[in-house]
Amino acid sequence: MKNTAAFFDIDGTIYRDSLMVEHFKKLIKYEVVDEKAWVDNTRDIFMTWDRRQGNYDDYLLNLCDLYVKSLIGLDKSAIDFATDQVIKLKSERVYTYTRSRIKWHLSQGHKVIFISGSPDFLVKKMAEKYNITDYRGSVYVFEDNAFTGKVIPMWDSVSKNKAIDELVEKHNLDLEKSYAYGDTNGDINMLRRVGNPIAINPTKELLLHINQDDTLSKTAKIIVERKDTIYSLAPDVELYKNDL
């Protein structure tokens, strides 16, 4: 008999920000990474996003490049220390909706799986924190306990699709009965693969792709959580198309 799974993206879906960003901030706080690199390379693009005049994905991709470059050569013990601090101080900063869904899936005996573009060492700790079945994250390659700068990504839809293929075989999964939760277009294939797709606070790009997809436009649930209220919207919700 095949198993039911629940696939969860983490950043923006479970966690109310980016684990990578939190980790970068901790490395700067503990003076492992020079703050000047952050200011010189990401301040302007962050401020554009913060004013809602730019694209969050552009900011995050820029930051990801800087993050990877800043970690090259760092000892794993320093990275692990910052990781432990992120989990200790920030791992409860999650959405009410997805936290309750994780608990529900576990109570039903479902296989709960995190698939995230965040570094695997952060995803592993979050998986342990929430006592879930399995996980996949972007693999950061170390040699002689130092980060090499090589990353095997898990933030794009192609990589997540490949990971699902491996997990289906490993856990004997029935995708038609399974669930997926995501917030960006990198999760689109994950949502397409399952019988119960749920978009959490979706980006405009993801919502557009859902609306244009013959299957997702009929099956996807759109969940928006703001303050202490959770809204369930139809997939064909009208998007504001003009500049303010």
Segment 83-101, tens digit of pLDDT: 999 999 999 999 999 999 9
Model's pTM, two decimal places?
Answer: 0.90
Would you place residue 214 in the very low, low, confident or very high pLDDT band (cuts 50, 70, 90)? very high
Residue ranges per structural domain of the chain = 5-233
Alpha helices in the chain (DSSP H): 19-29, 35-50, 56-71, 76-90, 96-107, 120-129, 157-171, 188-193, 204-212, 216-219
Least confident span in 7-16, 196-205, 230-239 = 230-239
Q: Output the pLDDT for position 241.
A: 54
Give 25-29 contacts, CB < 8 A, sequence gap 24+: 26/82, 26/85, 26/86, 27/70, 27/71, 27/78, 27/79, 27/82
The CATH T-level fold of domain 5-233 is Rossmann fold (3.40.50)
Segment 102-157, tens digit of pLDDT: 999 999 999 999 999 899 999 999 999 999 999 999 999 999 999 999 999 887 77
Nearest to 179 by CA among 1, 8, 2: 8
Segment 40-85, tens digit of pLDDT: 666 666 666 666 666 666 777 777 888 898 999 999 999 999 999 9
Site of tokens 């993050």: 67
Question: Is-contact 122 20, C-beta < 8 A?
Answer: yes
Give the distance, in angstroms, between the CA of residue 109 and the centroid of all CA atoms in the same chain. Answer: 23
Q: Output the pLDDT for position 78.
A: 95
Q: How far apart are CA 110 and CA 53, in angstroms?
A: 41
Least confident span in 4-8, 51-55, 198-202, 232-236 = 51-55
